[in-house]
A and B are shown apart, each in its own frame.
Chain A
Amino acid sequence: MSNMLNLTLKVWRQDGPDTAGQFQTYKTTVSDDASFLEMLDYVNEELIEADEIPISFDHDCREGICGSCGVMIDGQAHGPQRGTATCQLHMRQFNDGDTIEIEPFRAAGFPIIKDLVVNRAAFDRIIESGGYISVTTGAAEDANDIPIPKHAADAAMDAAACIGCGACVAACPNSAANLFTAAKMQQLNMLPQGQAERYTRSNAMVEKMEQFFGSCTNYGECQEACPKEITIDFIAMMNRDYVKSQLVNRRRLGQKKLG
């Protein structure tokens, strides 16, 4: 049966991108069966009824798959439970009497919109730069025409599990987005369908990433924070493809001129 937890919350409140923010303290009592976001819902209901402005936070599916939610909980992206997005974190991970510090994901590439909400549009720009296979609707051959070894399909799926939440960036001391970019890129680079654009993709996505985010120095914090437990092996694969792209793309450029 459920137990009630008395909690002290220190929540980052910030009106807008250009205003200063600060921590505010709230006290609340919730069931340990509640999810973390249900706890925030409950606090918000109390705030509204007390004529205060509720805490803004992004969320949607609450099943750990849409990637909308994500806050720093006691300094950890998505909180203390491994492989768990904020929405799936439940209050039974906390103890009666705990003080919990809740902040937005902090990175220059993720400007704050309000309170705990940040702008992650940079991720969309990275995908738009090349995170796809260019195949026009209707132009596909039969799906079974290209056999893909099970281990390759499984590895692609491991990378494809990324939910685009941004925890990797928030956890990184350099605010690098290498894990996100690598996961999205390597899913495609590992599959036969992705080979034609492999090196143009690798180059374009890395260059775009660097416009928004810091550089990777292999801390590995990202894989610890990732709610889908995506490994930094994919970053190594991305680095290899990026380096190779500098040569391959130049050679292709040469071919183009000759041809």
Chain B
Amino acid sequence: MTLNLDAHIPEGPLADKWTNHKFDLPLVSPNNRRKFEVIVVGTGLAGAGAAATLGELGYNVKVFTYHDSPRRAHSIAAQGGINAAKNYRNDGDSIFRLFYDTIKGGDYRSREANVYRLAEVSNNIIDQATAQGVPFAREYGGGLDNRSFGGAQVSRTFYARGQTGQQLLLGAYQALARQIHLGTVTLYNRMEMLDLVLHEGRAVGITTRDLLNGEVSSHSGHAVLMATGGYGNVYFLSTNAKACNVTATWRAHRKGAAFANPSYTQIHPTCIPPADEFQSKLTLMSESLRNDGRIWVPDAEADNRAAGEIPEDERDYYLERKYPSFGNLVPRDVASRNAKTVVDEGRGIGPLNNGVYLDFGAAMERFGVDTIQERYGNLFDMYERITGENPYEVPMRIYPATHYTMGGLWVDYNLETTVPGLFALGEANFSDHGANRLGASALMQGLADGYFVAPSTLAGYLADWLGTDAVPTDDPAFTESLNETKDRIDRLMSVNGTHTVDHYHRELGKVIWEDCGMSRNRAGLERALVQIPEIREQFWSDVKVPGDPNGWNQSLEKALRVADFMEMAELKVRDALHREESCGGHFREEHQTDEGEAQRDDENFSYVAAWEYGGEDIQNDAVLNKEPLEFENVSLTQRSYK
């Protein structure tokens, strides 16, 4: 262990930590803020929220996105909702309960102080978004409506039809647009970050490629905020947007930022099963569907009768049977694993026997078709467009797919990584969801980090640098990074092999899904650790990237991203192999209870695994650093949703 993993958790009682910390943090006075240049990478909820807020505060912000517009960031695809501890339903919710549910849902692998802060600011997020004009669903009296979500026994999820992520992102985007208009924020669109620049050990800028003309350039600032999302596309097939990638975080990792818990991946239980080998991505159906849909498979194996022909007493509502108190609303990891179990038993349904039913028959009988249409109409329509089946008539077919990554850059309580001046926000960091994220918590975390946490903690870092200029981009630190990046591009272009980038990405994805997906074991992980370097070697010796690097080149964009996935994948598997326990989304077959539930080992694994980059031989060179997790306010229990 060589890194200092001080999380800088403030002293004092849990409920006072954030308030006290905000008071203790150094400030930058309003007239000094314009003297600081801040780089924000990414324009999802966390990035747009932070850039807008920092602009409002008076900092000079440069915000980067590889999209044509900030509004396209993948936060936009979140459907179901956002949690907050408002307790508008008077059903016993509180900040502490949201904190408790999140810690428990994360299987006790996250930091108490961070999670409590998340629960604490959740209410401010709802207020903020409402004031921005986000059209949350309302009740007839004009108050905000709520729905319930997996892993909770209260109704605390705010939503805007099935497009909550879209509406929250557009709220943040519009706040950002206002700042761009006012000139506090400069937008760099279609610009992809390809490297982090360090000067005397701290983050001072980034190297980017302009996707329109291929120009590689340097940008400097007093601090760098990365809100660049997760690494779910390492699986090739996932619910992530096609461009989502690990490059920004991986490049920062190579420059010294520790990567925490890369094995933690959330497999979302309700996605549409793959139809054929052309499949380019998987589509998620919101978890909110589990509120009213009942999940089942036939009792018998290979029962290929149509759903309607299978009588009630030959159906196995396996979640309701095994988990009577939570039923269909068990957390995502539990729901996913159980789906895998029944499909592996040969009871899968659909043309490829690769799914389970999500049935709204009973709900339509109870509430009427109109109510179901009101609640889920757009999701039902989407399902029909993709599958050609009408879910008002036949049950939906669903199967788990990779959806979210809980791991990410290690950050302290201030969201600062192990590289001074480099902050990681939203899904790009590891901090709040432990080994499993509860539904409707990703939007909450992205906006909490962007609107409320980073703008405060960043001032604490910047205050020390008052009176200094940003390192100029003609400094050797920048030119070195620029040259390294150009070399990497040249190397990719010059391979001129036989197979496309997607070909290798698919190969990689198959290995990771098979051996480091919903369920993992030593033999499979060790096999993957042999296969991944082989695929990487083939990629670098036989990939074909057509076109010109000095211009628009979507193949090159992909190649740069996949090259980094090839490296990151190895660290991910290495992490999964070392964690000899099951927790949340990390299910090691060797470690399960007699009933087949995840078995944690709190004595030996109650820590954050923060990997330090050691060299090109990733699995052997990576250095494991441990941040012990201490629980003072909750007692660790084996999660039970029975």
Contacts and interface: CB of A to CB of B under 8 A. Distances in A.
Contacts of B465: none
A123 B140 contact: no
Interface string A16-55: 1000000000000011011101110110110011011110
B278 interface: yes
Given A88-B386, A157-B160, A132 B131 contact: no
Given A143-B86, A147-B141, A90 B385 contact: yes
A135 interface: yes
A48 B126 contact: no
A118 to B, nearest CB: 9
A60 interface: yes
B177 A132 contact: yes
A150 B502 CA distance: 46
B72 A137 contact: no
A129 to B, nearest CB: 7
Interface string B377-414: 00001100110100000000000000000000000000
Interface string B212-249: 10000000000000000000000000000111000000
Nearest to B130: A143
B74 A128 contact: no
A207 interface: no
Interface string A51-83: 111101011111111111000000000000101
Interface string A139-165: 111111011111001101100110110
B178 A128 contact: yes
Given A83-B381, A147-B142, A150-B138, A140 B72 contact: no
B127 A114 contact: no
Nearest to B211: A113
Interface in B124-166: 124, 126-133, 135-144, 160-161, 163, 165-166
A34 to B, nearest CB: 4
Contacts of A39: 278
B241 A137 contact: no
Given A60-B67, A61-B241, A137-B53, A66 B72 contact: yes
A61 B166 CA distance: 12
A81 B452 contact: no
B242 A90 contact: no
A35 B280 CA distance: 9
Given A62-B241, A121-B189, A132-B177, A193 B131 contact: yes
Interface stretch (B325-333, B546-554, B587-595): B546-554
Contact of A63 (B382, B498, B502, B551): B382
B133 A140 contact: no
A231 to B, nearest CB: 16
Chain A binding site: helix, strand, loop or mixed by DSSP?
loop
Nearest to B137: A153
A31 B175 contact: no
Contacts of A160: 135, 160, 163, 167, 170
B305 interface: no
A10 interface: no
A2 interface: yes
Most chain B CB atoms below 10 A, which of A90, A144, A187: A144
Nearest to A156: B135
Contacts of A120: 68-69
Nearest to A162: B170
A53 B547 contact: yes
A104 interface: no
Contacts of A33: 275-276, 278
B281 interface: yes
Nearest to B54: A137
A198 to B, nearest CB: 11
A254 interface: no
Contacts of A35: 280, 386
Interface in B172-188: 173-175, 177-178, 180-181, 187
Contacts of B502: 41, 45
Given A49-B500, A127-B177, A137-B455, A191 B131 contact: no
Contact of B552 (A61, A63, A113): A113
A48 B128 contact: no
Contact of B138 (A45, A65, A128, A153): A153
Given A33-B276, A65-B76, A121-B189, A164 B69 contact: yes
Contacts of A31: 275-276, 278
A58 B557 CA distance: 13
A109 interface: no
A151 B69 CA distance: 31
Interface string B109-136: 0000000000000001011111111011
Contacts of B498: 49
Given A65-B166, A157-B160, A142 B500 contact: no
A1 B386 CA distance: 14
Contacts of B31: none
Nearest to B172: A137
Contacts of A147: 141-143
Contacts of A84: 385
B555 interface: yes
Interface string B252-285: 0000000000000000000000011011110110
Contacts of B131: 133, 135, 139-141, 143, 193
A48 B135 contact: no
A153 B72 CA distance: 24
Contacts of B463: none
Contacts of B563: none
29 contacts: A1-B351, A33-B278, A35-B280, A35-B386, A53-B547, A56-B552, A60-B67, A61-B76, A62-B283, A63-B77, A64-B385, A65-B76, A65-B163, A88-B382, A90-B386, A119-B68, A124-B189, A133-B132, A135-B175, A141-B127, A143-B126, A144-B143, A144-B144, A148-B138, A148-B142, A150-B142, A153-B135, A153-B138, A193-B133
Interface of A: 1-2, 16, 30-31, 33-35, 37-39, 41-42, 44-45, 48-49, 51-54, 56, 58-68, 81, 83-84, 88-90, 92, 113-114, 117, 119-121, 123-124, 127-129, 131-144, 146-150, 153-154, 156-157, 160-161, 163-164, 187-188, 191, 193-194
Interface of B: 49, 52-53, 56, 67-72, 74, 76-77, 86, 88, 124, 126-133, 135-144, 160-161, 163, 165-167, 170, 173-175, 177-178, 180-181, 187, 189, 212, 241-243, 275-276, 278-281, 283-284, 351, 381-382, 385-386, 388, 451-452, 455, 498-500, 502-503, 544, 546-547, 551-552, 554-555
7 closest pairs, A vs B, by CB? A147-B142, A132-B174, A140-B131, A143-B130, A140-B127, A153-B138, A156-B135
